Amino acid sequence: MAQVLEFKLPDLGEGLTEAEIVRWLVEVGDVVAIDQPVVEVETAKAMVEVPCPYGGVVTARFGEEGTELPVGAPLLTVAVGVPEGSSGSGEDSGSGTEPSGGSGNVLVGYGTGAPAARRRRIRPNRLDRAVTEAPVSRAPVVKAPVLEAPVVTVPAAGAAVSEGPVPVVSPLVRRLARQNDIDLRRLAGSGPDGLILRADVDRAIRTAEETAAATAHGARAPAQAQAPAAAVAAAPNGVAAAADAERIPLRGVRGAVADKLSRSRTEIPDATCWVDADATELMAVRAAMNAATGPSAGPKVSVLALLARICTAALGRFPELNATVDTEAREIVRLPGVHLGFAAQTERGLVVPVVRDAHTRNAESIGAEIARLTELARTGKLSPAQLTGGTFTLNNYGVFGVDGSTPIINHPEAAMLGVGRIMPKPWVHQGELAVRQVVQLSLTFDHRVCDGGTAGGFLRYVADCVEQPAVLLRTL
């Protein structure tokens, strides 16, 4: 006996509602083992390989590479319980033996045991056909009502308008179409059963833009030939843009960053204070630590690791900044432990890995964890859990060669410390003008959790530890 089980895109955690298929790891007809990765997807937080909890033969895949699927949409179907060496013909054995059904491992938000009502049996003599034919009817289609608002026709004139409900599942697809005045009734979906995918709407948007650009070019009067080549036209959503402007979708990591920063600016009444600090002694201490040799010598310590250790000590003295605001309950929630995030620039965009329980670590341990997470960030292998749950963020924008900035708080945290470049500058040291290693420190904080006195005290303590590292030793 064999069963065809449907594996849906699991909930990858942390509130993620969709994922984009980056690369399929299996083909239709391949034999997969239990918990074998079958597809690589990109969420708004990380690249993730999704394992299939079933073992058997892949009978169908849903979605091409580049397609964005909502959580709960079918990924593939697997025929399980196929006897070894089965030729695909023969009578039902009638043994009544059920397939194992799965590994028993539960993905985040996804149970491996499918309800019996959703399983479909196929006889062995139909297995070959099941392997080669994608069971399109297995893809559930959620019918959405026809849009009531007036829309602008995108396809060529004379295109037929479908009657009845529009086959589209994702609310993101409907919103994208509405924002760009795309009539979903005039689109032919490329998904199962004509399901309209985001790629279909993106294609319609590009077609509309190309048509508008061609029309504007053809209608341009000879007197306008001397005008700039990039004629300004009205975009479908009313935003003025050049006719040949490049449009880049805000999705994936870039979309997640945009949403979080916009939410931070909208919800958090932030303020920023800054101070210049003499980092000469800190750099000398780092050089001495890294110059140590012998069995007791540990790994090299970075400036970021030392600053992170200073931050954890400062948060111990000023716990108001290691907090978040519960807007519904109108409460300030002070958090018991410090999970320190640090900004890391990667090819996929800005990410903020989190060092767990940073308040329990020394500088060497923090530095080693920062190095490990940075390498995972560069290769795109950070898990969603490693990118969430931070309570305070350290942003070293000095690596970009700039002195100062006003950081945007990483919502829902309450503060972020920004660090500029450390460079030689004239400085009054012990009553005399000298050339010292100077750094600018800036603190952006949520004014709801504390007043300027607390924020200033935190920043001054950090600066004191930078200027005189012995201050940190005295307070440990």
Query: Does one domain contain both 209 and 308?
Result: no
pLDDT tens digits, 399-427: 999 999 888 999 999 999 999 999 999 99
Which of 76, 111, 138 is the last residue in one of the domains?
138
Do 263 and 393 share a domain, yes or no?
yes
User: How much is the pLDDT for 237?
Assistant: 55
DSSP for 5-46, please give it.
Answer: EEEEPP--STT--EEEEEEES--TT-EE-TTEEEEEEE-SS-
Whether residue 248 is contained in a domain is answered as no
pLDDT for 218 equals 63
The reply to whether 327 and 469 lie within a common domain is: yes
Are 262 and 366 in the same domain? yes
The proportion of the chain whose per-residue pLDDT surpasses 70, expressed as a percent, equals 71
Q: What is the CATH number of the domain that holds 21?
A: 2.40.50.100
Q: What is the pLDDT of residue 278?
A: 97
- What is the per-residue pLDDT for 395? 95
149 shares its domain with 292: no
44 in any annotated domain: yes
Q: Above 70 in pLDDT, residue 174?
A: yes
Q: Read off the pLDDT of each residue in 49-73 and give the average, rounded to a whole number.
A: 88
Cite the beta strand spans of 260-381 per DSSP E: 270-278, 323-326, 331-334, 340-342, 344-346, 349-351, 354-355
More confident residue, 210 or 442: 442
- Let me know: does 48 contact 40? Beta carbons within 8 Å: yes
Distances (CA, A) of 389 to 47, 157, 239, 331, 433: 18, 51, 36, 19, 45
| Annotated catalytic residue within 92, 259, 357, 447 | 447
Question: Sorting pLDDT into bands at 50, 70 and 90, what band is 211?
Answer: confident
Instruction: Check whether residue 288 and residue 262 sit in a common domain.
Output: yes
CATH number at residue 198: 4.10.320.10
Asked if 407 and 442 count as a contact pair (C-beta separation under 8 A), the reply is yes
- pLDDT digits 0-9 by tens, 127-152: 444 434 444 434 444 443 433 333 33
Is 451 in the active site? yes
Asked if residue 56 is part of any domain, the answer here is yes
> Do 158 and 110 have their domain in common?
no
Indicate the residue among 185, 215, 245 that finishes a domain: 215
Residue 222 lies in a domain: no
Mark which of 118, 138, 158 sits at the end of a domain.
138
Residue 447: active-site member: yes
370 is a domain residue: yes
Closest CA to 275 of 469, 458, 475: 458
- Specify the pLDDT at position 389: 92
127 and 162, same domain (yes or no):
no
Burial 318-353 (b: 16+ CB within 10 A, else e): bebbbbbbeeeeeeeeebeebbbbbbbeeebeebbb
User: CA angle, 139 as apex, 52 and 64 as ends, to 5°?
Assistant: 65
Separation CA 317–CA 96 (nearest Å)? 67
Radius of gyration (C-alpha) of the chain in whole angstroms: 29
229, part of any domain: no
Question: Mean pLDDT lowest for which of 161-170, 184-193, 348-357?
Answer: 161-170
Residue 49 has a pLDDT of 83
Domains contained in the chain, number: 3
Is residue 53 scored above 60 in pLDDT? yes
Return mean pLDDT, the chain: 78
Claim to verify: residue 305 and residue 170 sit in the same structural domain: no
456: three-class secondary structure by DSSP:
helix
CA–CA dist 464, 449 (Å, integer): 23
Q: Is the pLDDT of residue 111 over 80?
A: no
DSSP letter string, 65-80: TT-EEETTSEEEEEEE
Comparing 220 with 136, the larger pLDDT belongs to 220
- Residue 453's domain is classified under what CATH number? 3.30.559.10
Query: Do residues 157 and 183 make contact, with C-beta atoms less than 8 angstroms apart?
Result: no
CB atoms near residue 83 (< 10 Å)? 12
Residue 445, pLDDT > 90, answer yes
Encode burial over 162-183: b for 16+ CB neighbours within 10 A, e otherwise.
beeebbbbbebbbebbeebbbb
In a domain, 107, yes or no: yes
Rounded Cα distance between 396 and 410, Å, is 14
Q: Is residue 134 part of a domain?
A: yes
Note whether 312 and 405 are same-domain residues: yes
CA 59 to chain centre: 30
Q: How far apart are CA 6 and CA 56, in angstroms?
A: 12
d(CA 136, CA 198): 19
208 and 282 fall within a common domain: no
pLDDT over 50 (residue 307): yes
Q: What is the pLDDT of residues 358-402, one digit of tens each?
A: 999 999 999 999 999 999 988 888 888 898 899 999 999 999 999
Catalytic residue among 244, 259, 326, 451: 451
> Domain check: are 404 and 452 in the same one?
yes
DSSP result, 327-338: TTTTEEEE-SS-
Could you count the other beta carbons within 10 Å of the beta carbon of residue 255?
13
C-alpha–C-alpha distance, residues 335 and 341, integer Å: 14
**CA–CA gap between residue 67 and residue 62 (Å, rounded):** 9
User: Which residue segment(s) compose the domain that 272 sits in?
Assistant: 254-475
